[in-house]
Chains A and B, each alone.
Chain A
Amino acid sequence: MTGFVVRRIGQMALALLGVSVIVFALIHFVPGDPVRTALGTRFDPDVYEALVRRHGLDRPLVIQYFSWLGSALQGDLGVSFRSGQPVTGLVLERLPATLTLAGAALAVALVVGVPLGVVSAVRSGSKLDYIASAVSQVGVSVPDFWAGIMYILLFSLTLGWLPPSGYVSPLVDFTGWLRHLVLPALAVGLVSGSIIFRFVRSAVLEALNQDYVRMARAKGLSRRAVLFDHVLPNAWIPIVTVVGLQLGFLLGGVVVVEIIFAWPGIGRLAYLAVGDRDFTVLQGSVLYIATMFLVINLVVDLLYAWLDPRVRYD
């Protein structure tokens, strides 16, 4: 187990390093001079000079990378090409909003996908299974941003139940915060929920067909006991893995949905940075999102190992 944990953490560190190279390289993919591009019509030779010097863009690439990496490790991602504010501060300010939305969306996805998936598998071939499977087939094909727009159209503009967009801090107005959270969380969560439903259903179906399930029934256990004591503990293992992978998809959905709902998270920050050609802010946003994804996947893998004795006792 410790071997596995160490190996897995090492892998994550390596992946992070790779991500940092990609993120660093981002600026250097920009055709021409990124700072000049960023400043555009507001070009001012003094600001230009300052930015180039601040980011060391006049030094050789390798040195640039390592000094960038060194600062990044200390939490310094440079300053915004646009506003001159520190990037780390800009990103961290928006991190809680993104985490909240991602967490809420995941909660929706799990609450919808897991129980329905289990029931569908146990009653496979039933009307419920048929309907749930058909709905999920639709669910996986709906673009989340379109779903978001349709929800706004229906629940805000037509029915007037929920606010169409925006954000209030839960510390100021908790129910207001919750009301703002519902639609974006549903937009992202229901799509992921459909995918999770399908995996749960097939994982449970697969577990149900194992010999040890028949053996457990032959020992006199009830269907219910077999389900909870033998089927599900085995089904969780692939399910946990898939939920981990789903998180990448879910984070991507969060990024786009943030924009529709004017949700002040990292996705919206990145989007605005793209429009502003503010490459340092974009770098910071991408780095944080990728790190979040890697950390979550690490946690998921450790959970996986803990669930599976074949890995735990290795």
Chain B
Amino acid sequence: MTQPVLSVRDLSVTFRTREGPAKVVDRISYDLGPGETLAIVGESGSGKSVSSLALMQLLPTPPAVVEGEAIFEGRNLLTLDEPEMQKIRGNRIAMIFQDPMTSLNPVRTIGHQLMEPIELHLGLTGRAARERAIELLHLVGIPSAEERIDDYPHQFSGGMRQRVVIAMGISCEPDILIADEATTALDVTTQAKIIDEIKGLQERLGMSLIWITHDLGVVAGVADRVVVLYAGHIMEEADVDDLFRVRRNPYTRGLLASLPVPGRTSRRLEAIPGLPPDPLRPPRGCPFSPRCPYVADVCVREEPALREPVPGHRSKCHFDPEDLHA
């Protein structure tokens, strides 16, 4: 296997709250290969955003306490000092966020915001920076970019704004782009278009992509590998085809069962009953045990290890899929 671009090892994030410590990311590990797309999937609150913000040292510390390692080019991102980190953010690793409405500063022009990373990391100034910005806007499919570059965010539609945000993300041709729910706020058609564009850009630029979403449905078309996160734990990790073929983990099964199946609209969606655990009061044993339809005594007693019964397919469960009976 080729050398991974990013190796995350035992990453944990704990928030010190007034009511006590809340461990919202619990010893997660994964590798991201060059040009690979890794999807991180999980319900809202499962720790997807927090775990990726931790990589970028963008969590407020305190109250957050970050442990573990994230090796990028032989260096641990979690222990780099702020000036070093600033050289990486937006340049080598870029991140774009969920809401295109709020990710852009309303009182600064699109051009201003787009040129910031260009001037900062590529050393371009004046005309050159501007031309690069226009080029990027073209690249993400914004018509008449020369004129629109001096517009303010409120003069753009939602889809257009998200394109601008993507342009900001890829402006310095990063090695890794982390897209946190990048298309969630958009309607389905726009979402599909934007995903296509990001995939296209990924190929052209050869970047690795971390695609964060709560929607397992879009994962199939986007990702090479999938990490399923629940309550801060990795529950399952596999190549995307493997995952859809053999869902080793009860939680992943629940997630898939709750997906609408195209063409089979009549089928009732089976949402997983119950709520994710309160990070202040995590359950004993398996984090999914309070909601798991296959729960057994051992699940409540012991936390299962993240086992790898089949090479490349990890699952955090005491049982093998064929042993699971409700």
Contacts and interface: CB of A to CB of B under 8 A. Distances in A.
Given A214-B97, A215-B165, A310-B154, A220 B106 contact: no
Given A219-B89, A220-B91, A309 B106 contact: yes
B40 interface: no
Given A211-B97, A215-B168, A313-B152, A220 B104 contact: no
A218 B90 contact: yes
A28 interface: no
A218 B58 contact: yes
A219 B107 contact: no
Contacts of A215: 96-97, 103-104, 165, 168
B89 A310 contact: no
A216 interface: yes
B193 interface: no
A218 B95 contact: yes
A220 B88 contact: yes
B103 A220 contact: no
B105 A212 contact: yes
B81 to A, nearest CB: 12
A221 B105 contact: no
Nearest to B92: A220
B94 interface: yes
Interface in B53-106: 53, 56, 58, 82, 86-91, 94-99, 102-106
Interface in A119-141: none
Contact of A218 (B94, B99, B107, B154): B94
Nearest to A223: B82
A33 interface: no
A219 B95 CA distance: 8
B97 A221 contact: no
Contacts of B86: 220-222
User: What 10 pairs between A and B have smallest CB-CB spacing?
Assistant: A220-B90, A219-B90, A211-B102, A220-B89, A212-B105, A309-B152, A218-B95, A219-B117, A215-B103, A233-B107
Given A229-B108, A310-B106, 4 more contacts: A217-B58, A221-B120, A234-B105, A313-B154
17 contacts: A212-B104, A214-B53, A215-B104, A219-B89, A219-B90, A219-B116, A220-B88, A220-B90, A220-B121, A221-B120, A230-B108, A234-B106, A308-B106, A309-B152, A310-B106, A310-B154, A313-B154
